[in-house]
Amino acid sequence: MRLLFLMFWFMLQLFINAQTLFSPNKNLKLIFELNKDKEPIYTLLFKDETVIKKSKLGILLKELPSFDNDFIIERYESTEFDEVWKPVWGEVKEIRNNYSELKVTLKQNKVKGRNLILTFRLFDDGLGFRYEFPSSRNLHYFVVTDELTEFNLTEDHSAFWIPGDYDSQEYKYTLSKLSEVDALKGNNANEIGVKSIFDKYGVQTPLMLKTSKPLYINIHEAVLVNYPAMHLLIDAEENKLSAHLVPDVLGSKAYLQAPEKTPWRTIIVSDKAEEILMSKLILNLNEPCTFEDVSWIYPQKYIGIWWEMHVGTGSWNYSDTNNVKLNQTDWSKLKPNGRHAANTKRTKEYIDFAAKHGFKGVLVEGWNVGWEDWFGNWKEEVFDFVTPYPDFNLGELSEYAKAKNVKLIMHHETSASVANYERRMDEAYRLMNKFGYDAVKTGYVGRIIPRGEHHDGQSMVNHFIHTAKTTAKYKIMLNAHESVRPTGLHRTYPNWLANEAARGNEFNAWSSGNLPEHETILPFTRLMGGPMDYTPGIFQIKLDYFIPGKKEQVKTTLTKQLALYVTMYSPLQMAADYPESYERFPDAFQFIKDVDVDWDDTRILKAEPGDYIITARKSKNSDNWFLGAITDEQKREFTISLNFLDSGKNYKARIYSDADNAHWEINPMGYKIGEFIVTSETSLKLKLAESGGTAISFFPATSEESSQIKKY
């Protein structure tokens, strides 16, 4: 009888063509089915309420029958997975990877001898799914012309969005209903110049949605490998999002060979905004690291000859001519403009500063020839990555840094001339090894060469991974700017410390800048896929200090800049200002010197996208904790429990906060520092100015400190 029932149930399943999957804690529910056209459909519910309505899946092929309809389910496989793994570096010491998986093997009536596999992994915090193309008799080489993945929403949700753009993510975020998205509107101009907005209704991922409930829904992808980036196209009438893949120069999306898997499409769901930031779903979907030796990889804080060029007191270029040629120009004969920052003397000053204050790395931009005409000319042979300017002595500085136990950080601005970079890569990394550089910051400012390709296309995606693999061969760490936005690959390539791939702090130096809310949004969007080299830590907020009449300023208070070291997670953090700025405020600078970049534990205490974030983190292999609290253009007050601290212990809390009359525009640099003894029982009152912040270090207090410092 039982057997009959099972058989009936099994056949019923096949007949219904629907399968259900639950997350381990049962809060999330996935339904998979085929509709009447035998198209694959998925639905996602959170606590029994629909999050994603019935949404299609499918892949269109070039000159081959598409994976679109006419499907038959060959079989289902369900598995459970639960393990704990340790990242090489990260926000936490251990990560639990716990999911229920449903694997659906499909075939189609119209094509024999090939399958499509859909894999769904349901975690407590969200869903990941991908397409898999097993090697089969009738599927070898194929070209994807479109992906039909939909995300059908229940309402016209609010979204924190930036325009879908094949080449740039350097936009300010807009908060609006999906139906009100207009990617083409003027105020979305980024000041970089290479824009490839594809549609008025096109937006990028990670996309942060907030429903009316509110429910928080974050859409992105994981494991972007050998495939173009996924953008989203909004159908305002249907409240529908569709995948929009970035095309190559010929209009195709991906050139694939079975067996192959697409990236995971990820939907993180929670009724608590904090849990969005805590999610490890994207990392959990990524492949483990396979490096045998990771001893050469280390999180670090660094300073650099960099901000002065953005501010304008220094230049990347050595000379002010606008026409130079590698292998032809006699660099020693160029007339120096007197503003070239990357010179031997200045670099030694930075090395001295780094050594004095415990910074491991010193980045130097503008050290190598080619900057005179690097931008806007679509120049192919733009940099050689090995020839220094006449005033930058590689050997001398290599010795000097070594003697001071400081590492120079290499800079490879490629000007998006990628073929040139790939040709010269090995030689450039060999030079790094020779002169003791173990980390490189790359840049891709400009239009891609090979001409016609996009930063977010399949070939560029593969280039960035190629760079991560090649640097790893040379035991070099990587920080890639103007790259495709990350999707968790730093789990697999832990030398890939960070990317930019968003509008960073630098925009404050020479453009309309970043809005006060910017840093309260980025962790909910850009940082979902991986760390960002945001380059915080600007103390001299108003830049007319450096150039009289200069109007630009960073749109935060000074202590918000400190708090960013905690709220903007990255294993690579820059103290971005001129050393001279830090020398003027050594007490505030102490926080940057103290804060860690690698963590055993992280707590998102309070967070609301676009409004505020309060994060606490525990230092790696240490009892120290750090807290960062930031707000948008509104001043705010919070009462925070310190129950994350070890109980029964005294901590010395050094609190860096906005002065009472601080304001990002009126008095951004007003701050105060107080020191108190606290315990896990303490409740702290935080008072944040407009675009203000509070940063706190918690060190276990000695008995002497416990008696001498007053209790909070």
State the residues that interact with its own copies by CB under 8 A. Answer: 135, 140-141, 248-250, 255, 257-259, 322-323, 325, 373, 377-380, 419, 422-423, 425-427, 450-453, 459, 466
Q: Residue 380 Cβ, how far from its own copies at the closest point, in Å?
A: 7
CA pair distance 91, 589, nearest whole angstrom:
23
Of the candidates 125, 112, 75, 102, which has an alpha carbon nearest to the alpha carbon of residue 21? Answer: 102
Q: Residue 375 Cβ, how far from its own copies at the closest point, in Å?
A: 11
Identity of the residue, 130 or 652, whose beta carbon is nearer to its own copies in the bound complex: 130
User: Could you tell me which residues come within 8 angstroms of residue 387 by beta carbon, excluding any fewer than 6 positions away?
Assistant: 326, 331, 368, 369
In the annotation, is 380 catalytic? no
Identity of the residue, 295 or 322, whose beta carbon is nearer to its own copies in the bound complex: 322
Identity of the residue, 245 or 283, whose beta carbon is nearer to its own copies in the bound complex: 245
Give, in degrees to the nearest 5, the angle at Cα 81 between 27 and 616.
65
Q: Are 154 and 137 in contact (CB under 8 A)?
A: no
Q: Residue 328 Cβ, how far from its own copies at the closest point, in Å?
A: 8
Q: Residue 292 Cβ, how far from its own copies at the closest point, in Å?
A: 16
Six token digits for residue 348: 């030694």
Q: Are 529 and 489 in contact (CB under 8 A)?
A: no
Q: Residue 263 Cβ, how far from its own copies at the closest point, in Å?
A: 18
Q: Residue 142 Cβ, how far from its own copies at the closest point, in Å?
A: 10
The residue with tokens 């325009």 is 163
Helix axes 394-403, 418-435, angle to 10 degrees: 50
Whether the ω angle into residue 214 lies within 30 degrees of 0, i.e. cis, is: yes
What single string gives the DSSP state of each residue in 366-422?
S-BS-GGG-SSS--SS---SS-B-TT--HHHHHHHHHHTT-EEEEEEE-TTBHHHHH
Identity of the residue, 322 or 332, whose beta carbon is nearer to its own copies in the bound complex: 322
Q: Are 571 and 597 in contact (CB under 8 A)?
A: yes
| Residue 112, burial from CB neighbour count under 10 angstroms (0-12, 13-18, 19+) | exposed
Identity of the residue, 466 or 672, whose beta carbon is nearer to its own copies in the bound complex: 466
The residue ranges of DSSP E strands in 272-327, in sequence order, are: 300-305
Q: How many residues does the chain have?
A: 712
Identity of the residue, 68 or 413, whose beta carbon is nearer to its own copies in the bound complex: 413
Q: Are 329 and 369 in contact (CB under 8 A)?
A: yes
Whether the ω angle into residue 668 lies within 30 degrees of 0, i.e. cis, is: no
Q: Are 274 and 605 in contact (CB under 8 A)?
A: yes
User: DSSP 3-state assignment of 250?
Assistant: coil
Catalytic residue from among 506, 552, 608, 690: 506
The residue with tokens 């196209």 is 233
Q: Are 22 and 28 in contact (CB under 8 A)?
A: yes
Q: Are 560 and 241 in contact (CB under 8 A)?
A: no
CA pair distance 287, 282, nearest whole angstrom:
10
Identity of the residue, 27 or 136, whose beta carbon is nearer to its own copies in the bound complex: 136
Identity of the residue, 138 or 641, whose beta carbon is nearer to its own copies in the bound complex: 138
Q: Residue 563 Cβ, how far from its own copies at the closest point, in Å?
A: 42
Amino acid type, 687: K
Six token digits for residue 419: 């073929």
Sign of CA dihedral 134, 464, 496, 508: negative
In degrees and rounded to multiples of 5, residue 608 shows phi and psi of -145, 120
Q: Residue 135 Cβ, how far from its own copies at the closest point, in Å?
A: 6
Identity of the residue, 260 or 274, whose beta carbon is nearer to its own copies in the bound complex: 260
Q: Residue 504 Cβ, how far from its own copies at the closest point, in Å?
A: 28
Question: Bridge partners of 132?
Answer: 117, 261
Catalytic residues: 506
